[in-house]
Amino acid sequence: MDKLEIIGKPPGMPGTGLVGTLPIRGAKNAALPIQCAALLASDLTRLRHVPKLTDVSTMNRLLREVGCAVEVIADTDGRTVEIDPRGVAQGSLEAPYEMVKTMRASVTVMGPLLARYGRARVSLPGGCAIGARPIDQHLKGLQALGAKVTLEHGYVDLEAKRLTGGRFLFDKVTVGGTQNVMMAATLAKGHTTLENVAREPEVEELALFLNKMGAQISGAGTPTIEIDGVDELRGIDHAILPDRIEAGTFAVAAAISRGDVLLEHAPVDHMHAIIDTLVAAGAECRVEAGGLRVIGPERLRPFDVVTRPHPGFPTDMQAQIMVLAAMADGASVIRETIFENRFMHVPELNRLGANIVVNGNTAVVRGPTKFSGTTVMATDLRASASLVLAGLVAEGTTEVRRVYHIDRGYEAIEARLCPLGAQMSRYHGGGA
**Rounded least distance, CB 309 to ligand EPZ, Å:** 7
Residue closest to 330 by CA, chosen among 297, 367, 358: 367
**Rounded least distance, CB 342 to ligand EPZ, Å:** 8
Residue closest to 8 by CA, chosen among 322, 326, 398, 400: 398
Residue closest to 111 by CA, chosen among 82, 154, 140, 70: 140
Q: For the CA atoms of 96, 99, 100, 104, what is the dihedral angle to 10 degrees? A: -150
* CA atoms within 13 Å, Cβ hemisphere of 122: 27
Residue closest to 182 by CA, chosen among 128, 138, 240, 243: 138
Binding piece for ligand EPZ, criterion CB under 6 A, among 8-16, 25-33, 63-71, 268-276? 25-33
Q: Tell me the C-alpha distance between 94 and 372, whole Å.
A: 48
Nearer to ligand EPZ, 258 or 342 (CB): 342
Do 122 and 190 meet the contact criterion of CB atoms below 8 Å apart? no
Do 312 and 270 meet the contact criterion of CB atoms below 8 Å apart? no
Annotated binding residue at 245?
A: no
Q: For the CA atoms of 53, 55, 58, 59, what is the dihedral angle to 10 degrees? A: -110
* Binding status of residue 382 toward ligand EPZ by CB under 6 A: yes
Nearer to ligand EPZ, 8 or 409 (CB): 409
Q: What's the length of the chain?
A: 432
| 391 to 420: interface string for ligand EPZ, x by CB under 6 A | ------------------x-----------
Annotated binding residue at 137?
A: yes
* List 36, 68, 128, 418, catalytic entry: 128
Nearer to ligand EPZ, 16 or 178 (CB): 178
Tell me which residues in 88-147 interact with ligand EPZ (CB under 6 A). Answer: 104-105, 131-138
Is 36 tagged catalytic?
A: no
**Rounded least distance, CB 314 to ligand EPZ, Å:** 6
* Binding status of residue 242 toward ligand EPZ by CB under 6 A: no
126-135: b (≥16 Cβ within 10 Å) or e = eeeebeebeb
Annotated binding residue at 134?
A: yes
| 212 to 241: interface string for ligand EPZ, x by CB under 6 A | ------------------------------
Residues whose CB is less than 8 angstroms from the CB of residue 120 and which lie 6 or more positions away in sequence, other chains included? 93, 94, 95, 109, 110, 113, 114, 157, 158
Q: Tell me the C-alpha distance between 342 and 39, whole Å.
A: 32
| 311 to 350: interface string for ligand EPZ, x by CB under 6 A | ----xx---------------------xx-----------
Query: Which residues carry a binding-site annotation for phosphoenolpyruvate?
Result: 28-29
Query: Which residues carry a binding-site annotation for UDP-N-acetyl-alpha-D-glucosamine?
Result: 104, 133-137, 316, 338
Catalytic residues: 128
Query: Which residues carry a binding-site annotation?
Result: 28-29, 104, 133-137, 316, 338
Residues lying near ligand EPZ in the complex (CB under 6 A) are found at: 28-29, 32, 104-105, 131-138, 172, 174-177, 198, 202, 315-316, 338-339, 381-382, 409
